Amino acid sequence: MNTRWSWALLLCGLGCTKGGGDAVGREAATRAQAHVREGLEATGRLTHGLQAVLVAAAPTVVPSIADPIDVARVRNRLRDLHDDRSTTGRQLSLYPTHFVAVVGLDGKGLAGDLEASRDYLPGLDLRTPLACVGAALGGTAGTCTGDFVTMQGAPSRAYMVSAVPLRATPDGPVVGALVGAMTYGRVAQAIREALNVSTLRDRVQLAVGFWHGGRLVPSGRDNDVTAAQLVPDSLLPRVPGNTAARVGRGEAFTFTFTENNGAMQWGAAVAPAPALGAGDGLMVFRAPLRQ
């Protein structure tokens, strides 16, 4: 099944202005408000749904981490989770994961689900930047967000993470954690693709990004999604300069602007996403293609 459409199907529930803009822009901003609400609900479904998939998959992963640890064995088991002939594989295809990994009791990655030459997770500390990984190693499944660098020289990236304990027996001691991570950028892409489906008859142009760390993600040099999924550079200067302050104090708001000498009327909406982290939010831009 095409992964992009899998995300859209999972999120198919998707269906105060700063001055300026005419009725077209204001209407677009109002519609964008609804998209933001639906996008935040979808984000919650993705993070908690991924956790449920990991809980179901955990028993099949445990045998791979028997002593002595064989990294290749662990990696192969993780890669097998994506086999779409299995229930777990079909379920995982619904989530825009950046990686699925096993973490040892020391909080460091044992292996991830990428091929060996690209697997950067062995030895990577995941407990420190991700509170839910530490909680899972303590016996409690959960979700969290965090920023960390996966490879030397690479930029820090923001992740939405689900982590569950691994136990050899249901009541036995924790022997590790199974972790699934989605980047903010990939979740934004999933929301945008779902919105593209739900607004197909509206003939509109959309852009979706999470406000995180004082910027929109994905945008600029972010490379966890294709260039077509980035918030366009032309829209970035239109974001109000006080966005960080307003989102930080829990304010939702809209704004409008024009492009092409007024030929294109845009409306945009922003809302805080406190479940992700302090100061985080979701922003959706919308413009009708016929005006």
Task: Compare 198 and 6 and report the one with higher pLDDT.
Answer: 198
Residues 282, 202 share a domain: yes
User: What b/e sequence results for 39-60 when a residue is b if at least 16 CB atoms lie within 10 Å of its CB, and e otherwise?
Assistant: bbebbeebbebbbebbeebbee
- Supply the CATH number for residue 163's domain: 3.30.450.20
Do residues 195 and 285 touch, judged by C-beta distance below 8 A?
no
pLDDT over 50 (residue 16): no
Residues 112, 93 share a domain: yes
Query: What is the pLDDT confidence band of residue 17, given thresholds at 50, 70 and 90?
Result: very low
Residues 103, 16 share a domain: no
> How high is the pLDDT of residue 9?
47
Give me the domain span that covers residue 39.
3-44+185-288
Looking at residue 235, the DSSP 8-state letter turns out to be: T
Rg value, the chain, Cα: 20
Query: What is the pLDDT confidence band of residue 156, given thresholds at 50, 70 and 90?
Result: confident
Residues 174, 53 share a domain: yes
Do residues 97 and 180 touch, judged by C-beta distance below 8 A?
yes
Cα angle 46-50-53, degrees, rounded to a multiple of 5:
145
One-letter amino acid for residue 205 of the chain: Q
> How high is the pLDDT of residue 235?
97
Domain boundary among 183, 202, 234: 183
Instruction: Reply yes or no: is the peptide bond before residue 173 cis, omega within 30 of 0.
Output: no
> How high is the pLDDT of residue 256?
96
Residues 157, 136 share a domain: yes
Residues 179, 189 share a domain: no
Residues 105, 31 share a domain: no
What is the overall mean pLDDT for the chain? Answer: 91
Q: What is the mean pLDDT of residues 45-54?
A: 96
Instruction: Reply yes or no: is the peptide bond before residue 232 cis, omega within 30 of 0.
Output: no
Can you point out the beta strands (E) in the chain?
17-18, 99-103, 109-112, 142-148, 157-167, 174-183, 204-212, 215-217, 253-259, 264-272, 281-288
Task: Compare 96 and 151 and report the one with higher pLDDT.
Answer: 96
User: Number of C-alpha atoms within 13 angstroms, CB side, residue 102?
Assistant: 30
Residues 138, 124 share a domain: yes
Instruction: Provide the domain count of the chain.
Output: 2
- Supply the CATH number for residue 17's domain: 3.30.450
Cα→Cα distances 279→60, 216, 250, 251, 275, Å: 38, 12, 8, 10, 10
pLDDT over 50 (residue 5): no
pLDDT digits over 220-229, tens only? 999 999 999 9
Q: How many CB atoms lie under 10 A from the CB of residue 221?
A: 7
- Return the residue matching tokens 């999120």: 11
pLDDT over 50 (residue 20): no
In the chain, % of residues over pLDDT 90: 81
Q: Record the tokens describing residue 224, joined without a space.
A: 């966890």
Residues 76, 175 share a domain: yes
Domain boundary among 183, 201, 229: 183
Residues 177, 69 share a domain: yes
pLDDT digits over 57-98, tens only? 999 999 999 888 899 999 999 999 999 999 999 999 999 999
Instruction: List the single range of 147-161, 193-207, 235-249 with lowest mean pLDDT.
Output: 147-161
Residues 229, 107 share a domain: no
Residues 189, 148 share a domain: no
pLDDT digits over 102-132, tens only? 999 999 999 999 999 889 999 999 999 999 9
Q: What is the mean pLDDT of residues 127-143?
A: 97
> How high is the pLDDT of residue 10?
55
Query: What is the pLDDT confidence band of residue 7, given thresholds at 50, 70 and 90?
Result: low
Q: What is the pTM of this model?
A: 0.89
Domain boundary among 120, 148, 183: 183
pLDDT digits over 25-46, tens only? 999 999 999 999 999 999 999 9
Q: How many CB atoms lie under 10 A from the CB of residue 35?
A: 27
